Amino acid sequence: MKFEEFCFDERLLEGIHAIGFENATPIQEQAIPLILQGKDIVGSAQTGTGKTAAFLLPVIDLILRSGHDGSIKALIVVPTRELAVQIDQQMEGLSYFTGVSSIAVIGGGDGSSFSREKTALTSGVDLVIGTPGRLIAHLNLGYVKLGGLNYLVLDEADRMLDMGFHDDLMKIVSHLPEERQNLLFSATMPPKMRTMADKVLNDPAEVKIAVSKPAERIFQAAFMVFDDQKIALAKHLLQAKKLQSVIIFCSTKISTKRLNKELQGLDFLSEEIHSDLMQSEREAVLREFKNRKINILVATDILSRGIDVEDIDLVINYDVPNDGEDYIHRIGRTARAASKGVAFTFVNEKEQRSFQDIEGLLGTPVAKAKLPGHIGEGPKYEPHKRKGRGRPNGRRKNTKRR
């Protein structure tokens, strides 16, 4: 379906064409007409399917139809600063010719950034994108006027609940007019999401696109490894072919820092992203990555949602993620748009049962790859057995826990 078929305002279509959008994705094709009709929406779609434009485009168009009066018309709430910045950047491109204004209200900056946000919120802005904590900080000071708000968007709502933002979200909702259009978008729809949706939305229409499934264009494989084989395997995979963009996900800040130090010691062009870095530092690293000054990002799950970089060649799960939803978001960084991608996961003995749970969520086994000969034999994939942490016949013996 062509974007012209939505009958958007000509100024919005000009921005769409300038960005290079031509055909709507399935989530856009299903959601946009419903939003333009004024319906509340529960949209479930995997990452990389065009979910952001699915709500930005109709909201911009509706704001253009209703006119500008200096009041805040739309509020988009997201779990992370990175995602807020990404949406604001996409908003800037799409709305370039429309005059619809926006601001990202995010934490992590200095006092001057808070002052800039306050000025925008009080002087007039059409669309606000913010994280829960930062939005509440402004709301508590009493100068944010939301009486003219028409549209509320909760994006990556499952992640916000996972991060403990339920009470913050409900507090934000309490500041909003009762008469408004609500759009809830998420990659997954667990029961707790349904409960919140029942509180916030009014008779919503549902749009589902491949919930809890990674893109079919992603080739997935898993390596069974001992912990002391991970560095050698990462080095082998990174040197096996010329790769322009690689993201390696670790489960902790400590392992992120340690791996990046190892890779830099091996002369790889890598940098790290985690919550210990200031927002300005994270943004600087992302710019270097997008500009191809570095080609490897080592990151915690703070990056699994909220980065929009095309042509990611490879995603490596250096550690098995904590749950299946995190796995889907991690590997969804590759195979964006119409491209193909590759995702490898390193599974040590103690993570095998967790990885089996992920395979259960996927509904199909992930291919098990053989370790290169120079790295040695890894553990067998026996997730039903309780495992020790070391190599058999090596530094430690396998022992059953408890």
Model pLDDT for residues 63-101, shown as the tens digit of each residue: 999 887 779 999 999 998 888 988 998 999 999 999 999
CA distance 7 to 341: 34
Q: Are residues 230 and 83 in the same domain?
A: no
Question: Helix 10-19 crosses helix 51-66 at what angle (to 10 degrees)?
Answer: 150
The total number of residues shown for the chain amounts to 402
> Which domain, by its residues, includes 255?
218-375
Q: Are residues 244 and 326 in the same domain?
A: yes
Q: Are residues 370 and 348 in the same domain?
A: yes
Predicted confidence (pLDDT) per residue in 36-56, tens digit = 999 999 988 766 678 889 999
Q: How many domains does the chain fold into?
A: 2
Q: Are residues 184 and 242 in the same domain?
A: no
The better pLDDT of the pair 336, 261 is held by 261
Predicted confidence (pLDDT) per residue in 92-134, tens digit = 999 999 999 999 999 766 667 888 899 989 988 999 999 999 9
- The verdict on residue 391 lying in a domain is no
Query: Which one of 178, 209, 240 terminates a domain?
Result: 209
Q: Are residues 144 and 275 in the same domain?
A: no
Question: Helix 51-66 crosses helix 26-36 at what angle (to 10 degrees)?
Answer: 20
- Reply yes or no on whether the pLDDT at 402 is more than 70: no
CA distance 262 to 113: 35
Span 260-266, average pLDDT = 93
The better pLDDT of the pair 164, 329 is held by 164
CATH of the domain at 348: 3.40.50.300
Residue with tokens 């913050």: 168
The better pLDDT of the pair 20, 350 is held by 350
Q: How many other CB atoms sit within 10 Å of the CB of residue 282?
A: 23
Q: Are residues 224 and 174 in the same domain?
A: no
Do residues 146 and 172 lie in contact, with contact meaning Cβ atoms separated by under 8 Å?
A: no
Q: Are residues 49 and 194 in the same domain?
A: yes
- 340 to 29, 220, 313, 335: CA distances (angstroms): 22, 11, 8, 4
